């Protein structure tokens, strides 16, 4: 039997409901320590508990029932805060173990072996994270350049090996400035090649940020290999118009791919909150889903992207059972 692991405990997959598959509720990108890390522009930063509760509650009021929170250790993740947000909003919150781009790696990463990093991640999924009993239910791998190498490669291999020991799915950060230097506009193929080498079943991998720099031929290739494709910067139209995102999803659904697609908005800055004139977490349901309906994407397909697919991919086996 498989479960969904939330910050308040395990639930049955069918209890998850409408899910935003890639969001941030509590993060602090100013913790990045790289000497050449850009300090201009607004950082990814959310640390106002009452504000986040109000904003996430709007997603719940719009019909949302779960948020996958993809901040990892190294830039402000706090499972105690996530648990409080979950209690106060009624939303299921899935926390994430893993590693972000190198500038946000924890201090212990450069000297650690792959085996040590794997043990760390397994502990966050099976035992508890951030000094408390709440556990993570997802693994994350990230690359911030146009190739996988060095400490980022070491971390990604640790994520792959942690998957084998926990059964948790893997989500990927595959963009940064490198997206314009990679065939297809996304590092998904490089990730899938590495995970395949590590023996990870590709149907347990989510290729993220595919709607920043889109080549639909590349998306079809990722889907053909069995991975899930995630449109997760919905509402961020400096990358791509939402109308275009909806058109692309209509094409992919018509081709029979609705059962491998996930949706979200990747809110992570104060300016993106309603309080500050932003679109908020609920934009996915209040504004984007109607665009899908206008394109005659069926209710069944929309339900797959928001409910059925998350309920399937964000599972992990109860202890003692074989990973799916």
Distance, in Å, from the CA atom of 324 to the CA atom of 163, rounded to the nearest integer, reads 10
- pLDDT tens sequence across 16-37: 999 999 999 999 988 887 544 5
The pLDDT tens digits of the residues spanning 44-103 come to 999 999 999 999 999 999 999 999 999 999 999 999 999 999 999 999 999 999 999 998
Tell me, what DSSP letter sits at residue 11? E
Helices 49-61, 79-89: axis angle to 10 degrees equals 40
The 10 Å Cβ neighbour count of residue 65 is 18
pLDDT band (50, 70, 90) for residue 175: low
Its pTM stands at: 0.95
Joined together, the tokens standing for residue 187 give 């590092």
Can you name the residues that pair with 173 across neighbouring β-strands? 142
pLDDT band at 323 (very low <50, low <70, confident <90, very high): very low
Mean pLDDT of 130-138: 97
Return the beta strands (E) in the chain as ranges. 2-6, 9-11, 19-23, 27-28, 45-46, 66-69, 92-94, 96-98, 138-142, 170-173, 205-207, 228-231, 261-263, 315-317
Residue-range domain boundaries for the chain: 2-317
Q: Which CATH class is domain 2-317?
A: alpha beta
For the segment 247-253, the average pLDDT, to the nearest whole number, is 98
Q: Which two tokens stand for residue 193?
A: 């090649």
**Of 261 and 182, the one with more pLDDT:** 261
Segment 266-278 shows an average pLDDT of 97
pLDDT-derived band at 113 (thresholds 50, 70, 90) equals very high
The residues that bridge with 97 in the sheet, in sequence order, are 139
Q: How confident is the model at residue 322 (pLDDT cuts 50, 70, 90)?
A: very low
């Amino acid at each position: 039997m498989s479960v969904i692991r939330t910050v308040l405990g395990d639930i049955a997959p069918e209890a998850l409901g409408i899910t935003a598959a890639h969001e941030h509720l509590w993060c602090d990108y100013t913790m990045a320590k790289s000497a050449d890390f850009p300090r201009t522009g607004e950082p990814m930063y959310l640390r106002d508990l009452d504000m986040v509760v109000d904003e996430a509650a709007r997603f719940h009021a719009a019909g949302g029932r779960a948020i996958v929170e993809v901040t990892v250790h190294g830039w402000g993740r706090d499972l105690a805060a996530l648990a409080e947000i979950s209690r106060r909003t009624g939303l299921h919150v899935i926390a994430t173990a893993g590693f972000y781009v190198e500038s946000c790696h924890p201090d212990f990463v450069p000297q650690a072996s792959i085996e040590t990093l794997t043990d760390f991640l397994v502990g966050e999924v099976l035992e508890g994270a951030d000094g408390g009993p709440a556990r993570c239910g997802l693994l994350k791998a990230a690359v911030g350049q146009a190739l996988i190498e060095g400490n980022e490669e070491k971390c990604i291999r640790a994520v792959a090996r942690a998957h084998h020991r926990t059964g948790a799915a893997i989500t990927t950060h595959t963009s940064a400035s490198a997206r314009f230097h990679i065939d297809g506009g996304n590092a998904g193929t490089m990730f899938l090649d590495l995970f395949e080498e590590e023996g990870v079943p590709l149907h347990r991998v989510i290729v993220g940020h595919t709607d920043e720099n889109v080549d639909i031929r590349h998306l079809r290739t990722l889907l053909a290999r069995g991975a899930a494709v995630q449109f997760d910067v919905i509402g961020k139209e400096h990358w791509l118009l939402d109308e275009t995102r909806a058109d692309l999803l209509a094409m992919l659904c018509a081709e029979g791919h609705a059962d491998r697609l996930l949706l979200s908005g990747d809110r992570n800055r104060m300016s993106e909150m309603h309080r500050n004139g932003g679109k908020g977490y609920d934009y996915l349901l209040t504004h984007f889903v109607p665009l899908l309906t206008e394109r005659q994407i069926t209710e069944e397909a929309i339900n797959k992207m928001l409910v059925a697919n998350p309920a399937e991919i964000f599972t992990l086996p109860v202890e003692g059972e074989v990973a799916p």
